[in-house]
Amino acid sequence: MAQPAFAPTNPAADPGGTLDLVRNLLPQALVVEVRATLLDLIGAVLGHDPGTDLDTAVDAVVARDRRLLSQVYDAMRETLAFRRVVTAPELVDAVAQRLETAGLGTARLHSPFQHAVFRMDLAGEGYRGFGWHQDYPYNMLCGRSLTAWTPLTDSGPHNGAIDAVPALSDRVWPVEIRFKRNADGSRGRTADAFIAPRFHAAFEAAQVKLSLAPGDVALFGNRVVHRSGHNPGPRHRYSIQVRFGDLLAPEVVARAWANRRVEGFHTFKALHPDLIEFEEEHDHS
C-alpha cells in the first residue's frame, strides 16, 4: 500500500480527505439562470424553442445528432452564467473558510479555469461513468486543495451521482492511466487516472452515496476517493465542478505553479512515479 503523498501538519484540520455537504449554498436565482442559459443554447442548436424541461430538450438534440451536445458543452463553459457559478461569492467564502481552518492561505486562491467543469451525464450511457479516483492527479493544485461539486437538477443514487469514501482518503492511491472508451469500445483520445482495481473492493464496502438538490454544494478534499457512476435514468444528470487551492502554497510555488494545464498526467507522473501502476501506451500507428 502506497504511503500518503502528503503528511498533514495539522491532521485534525487537514481538508485533503474531508467531505462537507453545504445545503442551499448557491442562490436559486443563479441556478435558474444557468439552466435557462443551457436551454437557450440547446434551442439555438435545434433551431426552435426547446421548452422548459432540460431532459426533453437534451433528448431532442441526441435524436438529431449526439455530437451536437459537444457544441453545447463547449459553449456553456464560455457563458457568463457558468462563470458566475464558479466565482459565486457564497462558494468562494465557503472554500476560503475551510482552507483558513487548515492553516492555508486564503488571500490568493488558486482556481485555474480549465479545472472548472460542466457535465451532462445522460441516462443509460454506461460507458461514460467516472470510476474510482481522486482529484489530485487530475488537477495538481496544492496538496490540500478542494473541489466544489454542485448539481443543476436533483442528484443522488437514482441517477448515479457521487459515491465517496472519506474513510479511506488518507493517502494518494496508486493509479492506472488508461484511455477512455467510446460507446463501441474503441479507444478515445483522452485518458483517465483511475485508482488501481485491486483497491476497489475496499471502496465499495466503505462508500457513502450523496444526495444533493440544486443549490447544494459538496465540498471535498483532493484526496477524497469518489466516483460518479453509471446513470441508470430515467432522468439525466447535470452538474458543475470547480477546484480551489492556495496560490502561494510552497509546493505549488516550488514547481512554478505547474498543474494539469494540458491533457495528460505529466505533472503527476513527474512528482509521483511510484504511484503509476500501469500506463496504456499511445497508438502511433
pLDDT at 8 over 70: no
The span from the CA of 41 to the CA of 76, in Å, is 8
Coil, helix or strand at residue 276 = strand
Residue 13 CB partners (closer than 8 Å, separation 6+): 101, 102, 103
The span from the CA of 237 to the CA of 220, in Å, is 20
Helix and strand totals (H; E) in the chain: 9, 13
Shortest CA distance to 240 belongs to which of 123, 92, 73? 73
Where residue 17 falls among pLDDT bands split at 50, 70, 90? confident
Where residue 9 falls among pLDDT bands split at 50, 70, 90? very low
The span from the CA of 78 to the CA of 43, in Å, is 17
The span from the CA of 115 to the CA of 107, in Å, is 20
Identity of the highest mean pLDDT range in 25-29, 129-133, 154-158, 178-182: 25-29
Q: Tally the C-alpha atoms within 13 A of residue 220's C-alpha that lie toward its C-beta.
A: 25
| pLDDT tens per residue, range 108-150 | 899 999 999 999 999 988 656 689 999 999 999 988 899 999 9
| pLDDT tens per residue, range 178-230 | 998 877 878 878 899 999 999 999 999 999 999 999 999 999 999 999 998 78
Domains and CATH numbers, the chain: 19-279 (2.60.120.620)
In our burial notation (b when 16+ CB lie closer than 10 A, e otherwise), range 2-26 reads eeebbebeeeebbbbbbbeebeebb
